Amino acid sequence: MTSLLRPALAMILGLTLLTGLAMPLAMTGIARLAFPWQAGGSLVERNGRIIGSTLIGQDFTSPRHFHGRPSATTEADPAAPGGTRPAPYNAAAGAASQLGPTSEALREAIRQRIAAATATAPGPVPADAVTASGSGLDPDISLENARRQAPGIAAARGLPVARVLALIEHEASPRALGLLGEARVNVLRLNLALDAEP
């Protein structure tokens, strides 16, 4: 038994020191030197204040801003101990709806979102505009979704629609390496660009 105990304990402790402390700390140091912005969470500042991370979506409700995808994140409900209440884009606890394909709650939610979307703009509704993202923090929307929102935002800001559409094209991210993933536009960056308009 002792012939097993010593190697077992020594190995787990030795490997913990190496792979659990020395290496993560060394990697943290190297990352800070080589990629300080990314290692720190890709944070964006405006007027010296942190206003978010380009990778993390934010809750936009103003008609003057582009809106991100529906988010199923929640937060603790102070009125009901142990319960939760909706809190879109709560980055402290990313979450999805976890509703299955035959869920009536999901179908009803999508039906209401489609009704709201078609009330302000006609035409088919892109799926990303009315389905909750998996992380609850999706920073992007599809270009179709953004273009669909453009006339409403142009009206709310008194900007020409063409200008808003041009901003979308300017901020759009193509597929990575021209091949991987989806073309999309980052909502926080797009709204920052909008706010910078005269």
Partner 1 sequence: MTLLGWAQIALVLAAVLAGAVPLGRHIARVAEGRRTILHPLLGPIERGLYAMAGIDPGKGQGWQAYTLAMLGFNAAGFALLYALLRLQGVLPLNPQGVPGMAPALAFNTAISFVTNTNWQAYSGEVAASHLSQMAGLTVQNFVSAATGMALALALTRAFATGRATQLGNFWADLVRMTLYVLLPLSVVLGLAFVALGMPQTLAGAVTAETLEGGRQSIPLGPVAFQIAIKHLGTNGGGFFGVNALHPFEGPDAIATALQIWAQTVIPFALCLSFGALVGNRRQGRVLLAVMLGFVLLATGAIYAAETAGNPLHLALGLDPAQGNMEGKDLRFGQALVALFTATTTGVSCGAVNAMFDSLTPLGGLVPLFLIQLGEVLPGGVGSGLYGMLVFVLLAVFVAGLMVGRTPEFLGKKVQAREVKLAMLAALVLPATILGFTALSMVLPAALASLANQGPHGLTEMLYAYTSATGNNGSAFGGLTADTPWLDVTLGLAMLLGRFAYAVPVMAMAGALAAKPKLPEGAGTLPTHTPLFAGLLAGVILILGGLQFLPSLALGPIAEHVVLLAGKTY
Residues 125 to 184: which contact partner 1 by CB under 8 A? 125-128, 130-142, 144, 175-177, 179-182, 184
Per CB under 8 A, 71 contacts partner 1: no
Among 91, 161, 172, 193, binds partner 1 (CB under 8 A): 91
Per CB under 8 A, 193 contacts partner 1: no
3-state secondary structure of 140: strand
Q: DSSP code of 114?
A: H
Residue 98 Ramachandran class (φ > 0 left, ψ -120 to 50 alpha, else beta): left
Per CB under 8 A, 52 contacts partner 1: yes
Per CB under 8 A, 85 contacts partner 1: no
Which segment (38-46, 77-85, 151-159, 160-168) binds partner 1 by CB under 8 A?
A: 38-46
Number of residues located near partner 1, criterion CB under 8 A: 100
**In 25-117, beta strands by DSSP E:** 43-46, 49-53, 74-76, 84-86
Distance (Å, whole) CA 30 – CA 17: 18
Which segment (13-21, 78-86, 150-158, 160-168) binds partner 1 by CB under 8 A?
A: 13-21
Provide the minimum distance between the beta carbon of 9 and partner 1 in the complex, in angstroms, as a whole number.
6
Which of 153, 154, 148, 142 is closest to 185 using CA atoms? 142
Provide the minimum distance between the beta carbon of 165 and partner 1 in the complex, in angstroms, as a whole number.
19
Provide the minimum distance between the beta carbon of 154 and partner 1 in the complex, in angstroms, as a whole number.
18
Contact 168, 159 (CB under 8 A): no
Per CB under 8 A, 116 contacts partner 1: no
Distance (Å, whole) CA 160 – CA 117: 21
Provide the minimum distance between the beta carbon of 164 and partner 1 in the complex, in angstroms, as a whole number.
16
Q: Taking the CB of residue 137, how many other CB atoms lie within 10 A of it?
A: 22
Provide the minimum distance between the beta carbon of 186 and partner 1 in the complex, in angstroms, as a whole number.
10
